[in-house]
């Protein structure tokens, strides 16, 4: 491997990806494993951790799974201490765990709003805070926050999610501002609309052979004219975790097929 290509290697690095039993987190963790990283993930229940471990094993990846609620600071501190002891100091953190509640704002309770903020914004603060001290000691670190197009745009029924993801964009910039001098880079990835099992019903062909209305809407709004695949996030995630991005800090990389750049098609 050339010296240049070595910059993209994650050989020997320890990567913690929160909530990575499946979906986007699993795809990112799988890419990191192929790039040479040791994979650590958590989930909120043992059964989810076990499912994740089985899925990694099926791909030939040796992953380390921990049960941890990332909104609870004591649990997170305990998990990070265990990881440092059992696997090694965390070099790469991906704050991937997240939830969304699609409820019109005036029908949403304050507790429901707080729950989304807790998982999508407070948890990245708590987990980042837990890993930064050891990154400072080691002299380097990468933190990648999974932001969203809702870090930039609003939409009906997602007031809490958009507020959290907008806040996460600014937390990303602030971690970069506060800890950049310690050779810690904090960036975000903003996925577009990604084809996952959860979005499959929105992509089903209708009985008359037409696309689902939401599918039509997304295709019309996306210059790439398709949904993203979880694989589309792997290259950007490896880049932001690698030495190749050492002077990229406080940036959100939108992997959205061009949606944010596009005003949309003129109605026929």
Active-site positions read: 161
Contact (CB, 8 A) for 247 and 253: no
Q: Specify the residue for token string 């880049």.
A: 239
Q: How far is it, in rounded angstroms, from Cα 239 to Cα 8?
A: 6
The residues that bridge with 67 in the sheet, in sequence order, are 43
Pair type for strands 38-43 and 14-18: parallel
């Amino acid at each position: 491997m050339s010296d240049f290509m070595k910059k993209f290697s994650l050989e020997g690095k320890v990567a913690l990806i929160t909530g990575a039993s499946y979906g986007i987190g699993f795809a990112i963790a799988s890419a990191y494993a192929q790039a040479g990283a040791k994979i650590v993930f958590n989930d909120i229940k043992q059964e989810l951790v076990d499912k994740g471990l089985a899925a990694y094993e099926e791909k030939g990846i040796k992953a380390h799974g921990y049960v941890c609620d990332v909104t609870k600071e004591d649990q997170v501190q305990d998990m990070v201490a265990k990881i440092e002891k059992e696997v090694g100091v965390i070099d790469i953190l991906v704050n991937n765990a997240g939830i969304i509640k699609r409820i019109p704002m005036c029908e949403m309770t304050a507790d429901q709003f707080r729950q989304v903020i807790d998982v999508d914004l407070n948890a990245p603060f708590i987990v980042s805070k837990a890993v930064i001290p050891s990154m400072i000691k080691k002299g380097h670190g990468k933190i990648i926050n999974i932001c969203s197009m809702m870090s930039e745009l609003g939409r009906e029924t997602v007031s809490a999610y958009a507020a959290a993801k907008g806040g996460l964009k600014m937390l990303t910039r602030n971690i970069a501002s506060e800890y950049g001098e310690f050779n810690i880079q904090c960036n975000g990835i903003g996925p577009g609309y990604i084809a996952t099992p959860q979005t499959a019903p929105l992509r089903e062909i209708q009985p008359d052979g037409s696309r689902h209305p939401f599918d039509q809407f997304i295709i019309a709004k996306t210059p790439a004219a398709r949904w993203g695949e979880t694989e589309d996030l792997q290259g950007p995630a490896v880049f932001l975790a690698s030495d190749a991005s050492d002077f990229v800090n406080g940036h959100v990389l939108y992997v959205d097929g061009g949606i944010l750049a596009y005003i949309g098609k003129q109605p026929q």
